Structure 1
Amino acid sequence: MKTYPKLFFNRELSWLTFNTRVLNEAKNTRIPLLERLKFVAIYGTNLDEFYMVRVAGLKRLYLAGITEYSADKLTPLQQLNEIRKYIHNEKDELQKVFGEINNALAKENLSFKEFSELNEEQKKYLQELFHSSLYPVIVPIIVDSTHPFPHLNNLSFAMAIKLKDSANKIKFGMVRISRMLPRFIEAAEGVYVPIENVVGEFIGEVFEGCEVISYTPFRITRNADMEIEEEEADDFMEIMAEGLKARKKGEIVRLEVGKNKDTSLLEFITNHIKIQNEDIYEYSIPLNLGTLWQIIGAKKFAHLTLPTFSAKILPPLNNNADIFHTIDNNDILLFHPYESFDPIVNFISSAAKDPDVYAIRMTLYRAGKNSPIIKALSEAAENNKQVTALVELKARFDEENNLYWAKALEAAGAHVIYGIPGLKVHAKIALVIKKVGNEFKKYVHLSTGNYNPATAKIYTDISYFTSNEGIANDAVKFFHTLSTGYAQQCKLDSILVAPTQIKPKILQLIKEEMKYGKDGYIILKANSIVDVDVIEALYAASKAGVKIDMIIRGICCLKPKVAGISENIRVISIIGKYLEHARIYYFKNSNPQIYFASADLMPRNLEKRVEIMTPIIKKSIADKLFGILKLQLEDNIQSHELQEDGTYIKLSPKDNNATNSQEEYEKYVNLIFNSSIKAKDTKTNKLLKRMIGES
């Protein structure tokens, strides 16, 4: 099919609509107030990363003279202008939403206030706190000919100060505020004041002999997308460490500043940093929205959040039996965070202790802090087991953490692979090799998510244990290709890998489904779909009459509902309590019908990363995966449907038939855990039957 720009949504603008859906959840009165505030925090941190990586990348393309970049044919400059316009237009909505939540929180005795809104007792308390806790650690700077404007690291938070000295001469200065300090200071029970308000009120005591005329907070965002020349690197760990240092000095791509009537403060800042006017955003709400987690996560306000769901260990893993014996008898599929991540930790820690285990091999992309997985691998290496870990040092914003873990594993005696030149290893796989009798038995774990217990509590991911011989042999071969550096050419027999096999297989499956016309059916669940070849194949399948349902949380460059092209394609996005992260691909008339993968439908995943896609042969496991898809397609509470013009319409229940897929799955897991399959509620009973694979 010839590529027509009008048949594709722009990647960056599609991402912005995703972040708008996140912000819109902050308006959702069905959820508690701090859950709403959480979506404001997520919106802010999402936007930080978008500017650090995507906007910074577009700026580089523009400076390099690139005039055509994406399938929709927008130039980098056109995309930059559209992004700026979109975010500036959304700024008022963000401030309005924050204000509404703050007003509602005040009725619950929790609020954000300016210093001027406090009573005298609260002001006196903050003055004492300033002297005892803030005065010693803030860094005041007068900017003049002998005191140059300092370098500010990425996401630095500071204050611009306008002063008048004893000779009535105007001076400008700065106060740097450490990230170690709390973003909000509690003036009284439940009353929080932004730290810059407290510092600003008393900063005159720091600049002795000067009168403070005005002040405003500001924050800069730098290009944080590291460019690593891997082929020229003799020591990859060393070059990554240098790249992390360089990130702190990247080009400034955004300036956020507190709104202030004194325009000279903004002039002072922009006179000393290089920034385009279009990339300056003035806000009347606190900067650095991600720091709202300080309040959201406070235990004393737990009553303003949703009840914590306790992940369950379900049969057959709930009987405390030897996990390897259990896997011998069952293929096991888990759906996190509803089902506990503990069996994965148990799988590795048991292998570390088992005297009959000879080898453990794993890929680690984002292991997190205080990782029990790393601890178990280190213990295994110290127990003289053969431990091989691929620690992907190029995992964006986890590079420093992964450098630390790589060194720790090496110190314990593990063989550490730092990655594959030219590719990111995004595959999630673990292999345990154990002596059973006179033979070596292989046990495999595959996942759509990271080996990270923290994110496993908030990301929905598929996790799969098997001792299937074909998959196990492929796992051995896969790790050999990682060790030898030949992942670029790797092809397996039972599971599929990128960059060699996944994309051709997906295109083949779509093409084969086309043969069935109106009897064809495809369901694709992923974080994003960008790949032009996959999109064009789906358009062709739609034109052939195939029904296509897509559950795409974030970026969707495919246009649904276009007459004669994609009228048989429906796209929904679910934004809820948990971050939808699993990738599941279903093709009605193929054998097998269903797959799960670490890979999204994006060129970077299909062509530039090492990924794994796993076919599901066993009917009960396939039915469970299909049940997850069907349940999510029925969601009419947290689901948004994509329209032909790029807008999303949030669905609403009809005839009182409400379905929140995430809440329904929590119910399902609780009922299974409590052995209460015979639910009185007909709808839930129907759900349970479907989820356990009954027709």
Structure 2
Amino acid sequence: MDPSRQDSAVNASPEHAHSKPAPDLLQPELYINRELAALEFNFRVLAQARDPDVPLLERLRFLCITNTNLDEFFEVRVAALRHHYAFGDAIPGPDRMAAREVLDQIRERALELTAEQYVVWHEELLPALEAEGIRFVSRRDWSDKQQRWLKGYFQNEILPVLSPLGLDPAHPFPRILNKSLNLAVTLEGRDAFGREGHMALVRAPRSLPRIIRLPDEVAGGPHDFVFLSGLLHHFADDMFPGFEVKGSYQFRVTRNSELIVDEDEVENLASALSEELAGRGYAMPVRLEIASDCPKPITDLLTANFGLGEHDVYRCDGPVNLNRVIAIYDMIERPDLKFAPFTPRLAPALAQHTSLFEAVAHRDILLHQPYDAFQTVVELLRQAAQDPQVLAIKQTLYRVGIESPLIDLLVQAARNGKDVTVVVELRARFDEAANIELATRLQEAGVQVVYGVVGHKTHAKMLLIVRREEGRLRRYAHLSTGNYHTGTSRVYTDLSLITAHPEIGEDMHNIFQQLSGLGQMARLKRLLQSPFSLHQGLLERIDREIAHAHAGKPARIIARMNAINEPSVVEALYKASCAGVEIDLIVRGACTLRPGLPGISETIRVRSIVGRFLEHSRVYWFGNGGEPELYCSSADWMERNLRHRIEVAFPILDPELAQRVYDEALVNYLQDNTQAWLLNSDGRYTRTEPGDAPPHSAQKALLAPLL
């Protein structure tokens, strides 16, 4: 079927639809567990590390991404499940799986993923890297010259920083920092005080590089590296003079990284979060990674200390901190082993108009990142900061980066006399410290900084500029599916709109009033907003497609997002499928909907695109009986986004721009037969193959003109 067609195949007639008994769409077997669906994404990323068509150092990067993703999965999702299991306060999702059952299945799948990671590392990447002159030289292969150099390096650069700790009643088990590299060392002998050695710990300070490059004079090839862990193992005797080292074993503990702050009780959210951040690195342990050859007595000692069980232990056939290998990506100048560089397009309006305000007043501007340059957004804010006719600037910041040029421009705007208000989301996970720092910097420059709404993260991406023109005020707006982050703008796909549409500007004004003041829920004219109108607006539009199907009209839904797990939306999509609505979902990550179930979801197809860029755009398209409606949004169809966050969905009103989004971000992706994975009803994915058709990669098709 041609994915660009707006009409469905054969829609169920009203008579046919009402002749069947309505299926029970709340059966738990119709829903995939959300945590297991999230974990499954990493197998698709790991497949990129195995793909010979991907440049070698990029394959290495994908392997490291699976490792960091798995870390975060345990820090957040597994930590929450363990808490719920311990305290019995979990509310089962629509799949009705108990926390213990979910944890057991996570362990089974995570063990498979971990084992596969090390197979990829040892059997595929290491040989391929060595063939390109890039070697990780193991201890057994060090030459005499390398041994001498490494011993000197250890003595001069590493040993002075270490503080090995022998365990005894006067030296209890130390606090172990989250995800830090450590060695458990078994000893035999006595020290200067007559104390008998049994067990010691060595913590590798984070100031030490995890990968050491051998200098040319001792290297056996153009790029020779050794792991810090290898040096700690090999020269363990130097850390414990007088003792015989019987064995040394790497380990790493992963801890709960969620910050718990009672926002109803604290007076200053920034101060409360700062206090919580100080203890994050030593929160409750959730996973122990340990060398595969570590003896059971040492494993038992470690698990007992961390309050973990055998089911929390993951044995690693290689470096326990495999993600640290990413360091060599920037250490090696081999463009032939990386993705080809490209230059994003500048918006034509920048060349055609001196002023972006003049350009946007004439016509909306659509940006499709990373193919279109984020520089257009930076330039918009730069002109606003310097334009004497601009009176006020309002912006939301979720993830931005402390060195962002946008922060400099907001500071400059405030110093130029503009009224600048910035909503900084302090609770953006793992960016809390950076956001507290940038909020402080903005406040010191005279910017009015607010932290959003208690109990609701501000995830919407909005920039509103108020300008005086010919005696009246006019609003210019930028709305996006992605963050105001110059770094991720080159590696994430996102869509954004710059517009002077008065009703969109008025809606944004009302939302900013809510965020910075104590405004009531406004009746928005063009935007859909969580937690108020977005969820209901989606259900109404799905119901509208159902009504079209029942009336025998074309009925179609195409939606693209990062994840979908909101139960009522999934149920509505099942109802739509039962009515004959054709539904295509492009879901990068976790999807709890089961497609292709007879009598339930036969007309639903779900695909995931994994490639060079991280898919981050959210687009909702509704056929609407031949009068399509298209929204872009900051919100996935997840419970947290639709019910517990401040989110915005914005329409693309210019027909030509809407068609561009439809063609580039939807149809193009439905035609992908090389980087697309199709979700099966059992929750597993199958990678598409071109077969006899010409190969088509959605990302490569958009990138080709820029290379």
Q: TM over 0.5, yes or no?
A: yes
Q: State the alpha-carbon separation in 1 of the partners of residues 420 and 287 from structure 2.
A: 44
Residue equivalent to 2:505: 472
Identity of aligned residues (%): 36
- CA drift of 1:118 comes to 1.8
Residue equivalent to 1:270: 303
Residue equivalent to 1:676: none
Q: Aligned to 1:3, which of 21, 26, 33?
A: 26
The structure showing larger relative contact order (alpha-carbon pairs under 8 Å, at least 6 residues apart) is 2
1:542 aligns with 2:586: no
Please, which runs of 5 or more residues in structure 2 have no aligned partner? 1-23
CA RMSD of aligned residues (A): 1.6
- CA drift of 1:182 comes to 1.4
Q: Aligned to 2:384, which of 336, 345, 351?
A: 351
- CA drift of 1:231 comes to 0.5
Residue equivalent to 1:684: none
- CA drift of 1:110 comes to 0.7
Residue equivalent to 1:691: none
Q: State the alpha-carbon separation in 1 of the partners of residues 459 and 296 from structure 2.
A: 47
1:56 aligns with 2:79: yes
Residue equivalent to 1:620: 656
After superposition, where does 1:311-330 map in structure 2 within 5 Å?
311-319=344-352, 321-330=354-363
1:553 aligns with 2:553: no
**TM-score, structure 2 normalization:** 0.92
Q: Note if contact 1:509-1:587 (Cα within 8 Å) is conserved in structure 2.
A: yes
Q: Note if contact 2:166-2:197 (Cα within 8 Å) is conserved in structure 1.
A: no
SS in 1 for 2:669: helix
- CA drift of 1:301 comes to 3.2
1:569 aligns with 2:593: no
Deviations 1:2-32 (A, max 9, x none): 5110110110111111111111111111111
Residue equivalent to 2:694: 657
SS in 2 for 1:217: strand
Q: State the alpha-carbon separation in 2 of the partners of residues 155 and 485 from structure 1.
A: 41
- CA drift of 1:299 comes to 4.2
SS in 2 for 1:239: helix
Deviations 1:425-445 (A, max 9, x none): 000000111122211121100
After superposition, where does 1:272-671 map in structure 2 within 5 Å?
272-319=305-352, 321-486=354-519, 489-517=521-549, 519-589=554-624, 593-628=629-664, 629-668=666-705
- Pair 1:491–1:423, CA change in 2 (3 A): farther
Question: 303-312 or 536-545: which moved more?
Answer: 303-312
Deviations 1:176-217 (A, max 9, x none): 112222111123342222101112212322222222221111
Deviations 1:555-610 (A, max 9, x none): 00000000111010010000000000000000011655110000000010000000
Q: State the alpha-carbon separation in 1 of the partners of residues 54 and 133 from structure 2.
A: 18
Instruction: Specify the code of the residue in structure 1 equivalent to 2:398.
Output: Y
Residue equivalent to 2:151: 127
- CA drift of 1:316 comes to 2.4
Q: State the alpha-carbon separation in 1 of the partners of residues 523 and 71 from structure 2.
A: 38
Question: 106-115 or 258-267: which moved more?
Answer: 258-267
- CA drift of 1:109 comes to 0.7
Instruction: Specify the code of the residue in structure 1 equivalent to 2:303.
Output: T
- CA drift of 1:384 comes to 1.8
Q: State the alpha-carbon separation in 2 of the partners of residues 301 and 126 from structure 1.
A: 26
Q: State the alpha-carbon separation in 1 of the partners of residues 304 and 601 from structure 2.
A: 51
Residue equivalent to 1:71: 94
SS in 2 for 1:232: coil
Q: State the alpha-carbon separation in 2 of the partners of residues 620 and 164 from structure 1.
A: 77
Instruction: Specify the code of the residue in structure 2 equivalent to 1:416.
Output: V
Q: State the alpha-carbon separation in 2 of the partners of residues 321 and 281 from structure 1.
A: 59
Q: Note if contact 2:402-2:437 (Cα within 8 Å) is conserved in structure 1.
A: no
1:157 aligns with 2:181: yes
Q: State the alpha-carbon separation in 2 of the partners of residues 315 and 208 from structure 1.
A: 69
- CA drift of 1:269 comes to 2.4
Instruction: Specify the code of the residue in structure 2 equivalent to 1:304.
Output: L
Deviations 1:354-378 (A, max 9, x none): 1211111000000113111111101
Q: State the alpha-carbon separation in 1 of the partners of residues 162 and 344 from structure 2.
A: 42
SS in 2 for 1:97: helix
Q: State the alpha-carbon separation in 2 of the partners of residues 190 and 147 from structure 1.
A: 41
Q: State the alpha-carbon separation in 1 of the partners of residues 513 and 333 from structure 2.
A: 51
Residue equivalent to 1:690: none
Q: Note if contact 1:443-1:465 (Cα within 8 Å) is conserved in structure 2.
A: yes
Residue equivalent to 1:90: 113
Q: State the alpha-carbon separation in 1 of the partners of residues 580 and 295 from structure 2.
A: 62
Q: Aligned to 1:206, which of 239, 242, 260?
A: 239
Q: Note if contact 1:592-1:616 (Cα within 8 Å) is conserved in structure 2.
A: no
Question: 51-60 or 209-218: which moved more?
Answer: 209-218
Q: State the alpha-carbon separation in 2 of the partners of residues 636 and 348 from structure 1.
A: 39
Q: Note if contact 2:25-2:574 (Cα within 8 Å) is conserved in structure 1.
A: no
SS in 2 for 1:230: coil
Q: State the alpha-carbon separation in 2 of the partners of residues 63 and 318 from structure 1.
A: 61
Residue equivalent to 2:3: none
Residue equivalent to 1:675: none
Q: State the alpha-carbon separation in 2 of the partners of residues 557 and 5 from structure 1.
A: 11
Q: State the alpha-carbon separation in 2 of the partners of residues 120 and 16 from structure 1.
A: 45
Question: 26-35 or 289-298: which moved more?
Answer: 289-298
Instruction: Specify the code of the residue in structure 1 equivalent to 2:528.
Output: L
Instruction: Specify the code of the residue in structure 2 equivalent to 1:492.
Output: L
Q: Note if contact 1:446-1:464 (Cα within 8 Å) is conserved in structure 2.
A: yes
Q: State the alpha-carbon separation in 1 of the partners of residues 496 and 134 from structure 2.
A: 39
Q: State the alpha-carbon separation in 2 of the partners of residues 49 and 485 from structure 1.
A: 35
Q: Note if contact 1:420-1:485 (Cα within 8 Å) is conserved in structure 2.
A: no
After superposition, where does 1:145-294 map in structure 2 within 5 Å?
145-166=169-190, 169-187=196-214, 188=219, 189-260=222-293, 262-294=295-327
Deviations 1:47-83 (A, max 9, x none): 1111001000001111121465111000011100110
Q: Aligned to 2:134, which of 91, 107, 110?
A: 110
Instruction: Specify the code of the residue in structure 1 equivalent to 2:372.
Output: E
Deviations 1:316-374 (A, max 9, x none): 23346211111111101110011110011111122111121111100000011311111
Instruction: Specify the code of the residue in structure 1 equivalent to 2:409.
Output: A
- CA drift of 1:168 comes to 10
Deviations 1:31-56 (A, max 9, x none): 11111111111100101111001000
SS in 2 for 1:516: helix
SS in 2 for 1:297: helix
- Pair 1:67–1:429, CA change in 2 (3 A): closer
- Pair 1:431–1:168, CA change in 2 (3 A): closer
Q: State the alpha-carbon separation in 1 of the partners of residues 76 and 225 from structure 2.
A: 32
- CA drift of 1:654 comes to 2.6
Question: 660-669 or 359-368: which moved more?
Answer: 660-669
SS in 1 for 2:689: coil
Q: Note if contact 1:164-1:213 (Cα within 8 Å) is conserved in structure 2.
A: yes
Instruction: Specify the code of the residue in structure 2 equivalent to 1:420.
Output: V
Q: State the alpha-carbon separation in 2 of the partners of residues 508 and 564 from structure 1.
A: 22
- CA drift of 1:486 comes to 4.0
Q: Note if contact 1:336-1:460 (Cα within 8 Å) is conserved in structure 2.
A: yes
Q: Note if contact 2:385-2:412 (Cα within 8 Å) is conserved in structure 1.
A: yes
Q: Note if contact 2:401-2:485 (Cα within 8 Å) is conserved in structure 1.
A: yes
Q: State the alpha-carbon separation in 1 of the partners of residues 90 and 464 from structure 2.
A: 46
- Pair 1:370–1:257, CA change in 2 (3 A): same
